[in-house]
Amino acid sequence: MAVFLPFAAGYYLSFLFRTINASIAPALVSEFGLDPAKTGLLASVHFLVLAAVQIPIGVLLDRFGPRRVQSVLLVMAAGGATLFGTATGFAELLVARAMIGLGVAASLMAGLKAVVIWFPRERVALVNGCMIMLGSLGAVTATVPTDWVLDWIGWRGLFEVLTFATIGIAAFTYFAVPDSAAHSMDTMTSRPQVLLRSVYSDARFLRVAPLSAVCIGSSWALQSLWAAPWLTDVEGLDRQSLMTQLFIMALAVSLGALLLGVMADRLRRRGITAEVPLAAMAVLFIMAELALVLRLPMPSLLPWCIVSALGAATVLSFAMIAEYFPQELAARANGALNLAHFGAAFAVQYGIGLIIGQWSPQDGHYPVVAYQLAFGLGAVLQAAALLWFAVPWLQRLSTHLYASLTRPSAERESQAEFVTLPVEGLILDAREAADW
C-alpha cells in the first residue's frame, strides 16, 4: 500500500485536472468570452503538453525512479493551479493549463512503472486496473461534487483548494514510497536512444498504438470536454441533468477500469492476450459513437457510458506493453504509447472545436449537424485504426479460408483444429502451433 496508494492518488489528481473542463467551461466562457475554438484549445493544451513530454519523462522514470520524478512534477502542477486560479486573461489560462499538464504528466506512467517494479508480471493487468479505477474517481469528483464546490466558492476558490491538495499528494509520494534498488544509476544510463528505437521499430507496438491512441484519446477528449456541450446543445439537458449524467459517465470509467483489469487477468490465465478484449472494446466504442451521431432511438446515457468507459482501456494496452518489453524499458515503452494517447486526445479535442466553430450559434447553441460531423469523422478514424490492428488476423483468416477451399475434403477435416497463440493473439492451425 505504501507504493500503490500514493501513485493512485497522483493519478486521481491527474484525472481530476483532465476532466474538470466540462464543469468549469461555462464559467470561463462567461467570464473570458471564449468561443468553441478557444475553449477546445484551452482544454486540449493539457493533452498537447502531456504528449510532448512523455518520452523524456519515460527516460527520467527509468533513470531516477517514479518516486522522485512524480513528487517533483506535482509541485509544478501546484504552481499551475495557482496561476490558473488567479488568471486575468486567456493567455494566463493557457500557460497555467500547460503547467498543470506538465506537472501531472508522469502520474499514469509513474504508477505503471511502480507496478512493474513492485508487483509480479502476471498481476500487472489487475493492479493497473485497480489503480486506474481509483484514479478515475477524479472524473467522478469533476462532476456533481465539483458543481457543489463551484456554487460554494467559485472556480477560483476551487483551484486554490486544488493547489494545496496537489502539494499534499507530492509530499505523500516523496515520503511514503520507498526507493527501489532497480533504479541505481548504473542501470539507468543504458543507451536510451537505442532502446527507444527498439520500441518504435517493434511490429506489435506499431499495430497496437494507432488503435489504442484514436480510441482512448477520443474517449478522453469527449468525456473531458465535448460531452457537456453535446448534452446541452443536442440533448437539451439543463445544468442539473447534465451534471447527473456526467457523474454517471464518470462512474462508468471507474467501473470499466476494474472490470477490464479483472477480465484481462482471467483471460491471461487462459492464454488469451489483451489484444482480443481491446479489439472488442474498440468495436463497442465505434458503435456507441455511431448511435450518437445517427441519433438512434435510445437513451443517450447508454452510448455515452460506453464512450466514457473506453477511456479505461489503458488497462489493456499497457498490460500488452508490459508483455512486449523488459522491465528496464517499461517506462519508455509506456511513454511512447502515452505520447500517442495524449497526441490523439489533443488533436480530437481541438479538432472538434474547430469543426463546430464553423457554424454560428443559434440562441447560444450550436446545430446538431456540427456535432454529428465532428463525431462522425472521429468514428471513421477509429474504424481505420481497427482495420490496421486486425490486419494480421485478417491475413491469417484469408490464408486458412483459401487453404480450406483448395485442399481435398479429407485433408481439410484433419487440419480443422485451431489454437490461439498466447503471445501474439494470432490464430494458427495445429501444425503451425506445434512449429511455434
pLDDT value of residue 408 = 62
Q: Cα separation of 12 and 181, whole Å?
A: 27
Q: Cα separation of 223 and 105, whole Å?
A: 19
| Helix, strand or coil, per DSSP, at residue 61 | helix
pLDDT value of residue 419 = 43
Q: Which helix (H) or strand (E) holds 128?
A: helix 124-135
User: Alpha helix (H) ranges present in 357-389?
Assistant: 368-389
Contact between 59 and 365 (Cβ < 8 Å): no
Contact between 321 and 200 (Cβ < 8 Å): no
Q: Cα separation of 95 and 360, whole Å?
A: 28
Q: Cα separation of 59 and 52, whole Å?
A: 13
Q: Cα separation of 218 and 379, whole Å?
A: 9
For the chain, 436 residues long, the average pLDDT of each consecutive 10-residue run is: 86 91 89 89 89 87 89 96 95 95 91 82 76 87 91 94 96 86 45 66 91 95 91 92 92 89 83 88 96 94 95 88 78 85 92 92 90 96 95 84 71 48 40 36
For 219-234, letters b (16+ CB in 10 Å) and e give: bbbbbbbbbbbbbbbb
Count the neighbouring beta carbons within 10 Å of the beta carbon of residue 359: 15
pLDDT value of residue 431 = 39
pLDDT value of residue 411 = 54
Q: pTM to 2 decimals?
A: 0.77
pLDDT value of residue 324 = 85
Q: Cα separation of 222 and 241, whole Å?
A: 18
Residue range 4-178+203-389 forms a domain whose CATH class is: mainly alpha
The domain limits of the chain are: 4-178+203-389, 395-435
Q: Cα separation of 32 and 329, whole Å?
A: 44
Q: Cα separation of 52 and 57, whole Å?
A: 10
Contact between 372 and 245 (Cβ < 8 Å): no
pLDDT value of residue 195 = 63
Contact between 289 and 303 (Cβ < 8 Å): yes
Q: Which distant-in-sequence residues (6+ apart) come within 8 Å of 213 by Cβ?
A: 337, 340, 341, 343, 344, 385
Residue 88, exposed/middle/buried by CB under 10 A (0-12, 13-18, 19+)? exposed
pLDDT value of residue 413 = 53
Q: Return the residue matching grid coordinates 512524480.
A: 70
* Residue 396 DSSP one-character state: H
pLDDT value of residue 185 = 43
